[in-house]
């Protein structure tokens, strides 16, 4: 599992930053929408497959 930090939005429209190990269960239950990952590349496997990595745009 990647050790990336994820940015996600909750149903109430609140922006949250979380480590993926802390949000996996809530994500799998449909309780959050992952909008990006603070990594240099997109996630290509696992539960967060398809989430864009914003490191390629210069974000940490």
Q: Which domain holds residue 17?
A: 5-57
For residues 16 and 3, the model is more confident at: 16
**The pLDDT of residue 4:** 53
Tell me which residue of 44, 42, 49 sits closest to 24, measured CA to CA. Answer: 49
**The pLDDT of residue 37:** 82
9-30 confidence digits (pLDDT tens): 444 455 566 677 777 888 888 8
**The pLDDT of residue 30:** 83
3-state SS of the chain? CCCCEEEEEECCCCEEEEEHHHHHHHHHCCCEEEEEEECCCCCCCCCCCCCCEHHHHCCC
Tell me which residue of 22, 19, 17 sits closest to 3, measured CA to CA. Answer: 19
Percent of the chain exceeding pLDDT 90 equals 5
Total structural domains in the chain?
1
For residues 44 and 1, the model is more confident at: 44
């Amino acid at each position: 599992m990647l050790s990336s930090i994820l940015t996600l939005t909750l149903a109430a429209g609140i922006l949250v930053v979380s480590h993926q190990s802390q949000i996996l269960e809530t994500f799998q239950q449909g309780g959050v929408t992952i909008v990006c990952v603070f990594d240099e590349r997109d996630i290509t496997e696992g539960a967060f497959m398809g989430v864009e990595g914003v490191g390629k745009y210069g974000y940490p």
